[in-house]
Amino acid sequence: MTDQQVKDQEVRIARYRLLEREVTDPLAACLLHGIVEELEADLRRDRANRNRCEVV
């Protein structure tokens, strides 16, 4: 993942977090929370892979 892609992913996460806080429907909040968790996991995984590639 390039630096720009990382920034784009962080912006996407921030937008979903904002929606999660603003939504009043419990189901929608739960779904948004799941989306945020998946996006954050993807970002952590990509960062870990990137760090491994830099070390090698």
Tens-place pLDDT, residues 24-45? 999 999 999 999 999 999 999 9
Residue 1 above 80 pLDDT? no
Give residue limits of the domains in the chain.
3-55
CB 52 within 8 A of CB 12: no
* Position 7, amino acid: K
Which one has a higher pLDDT value, 48 or 1? 48
Is residue 21 very low, low, confident or very high in pLDDT (cuts 50, 70, 90)? Answer: very high
What is the three-class DSSP state of 25? coil
Running DSSP on this structure, what letter comes out for residue 45?
Answer: H
pTM over 0.85, yes/no: no
Is residue 49 very low, low, confident or very high in pLDDT (cuts 50, 70, 90)? Answer: confident
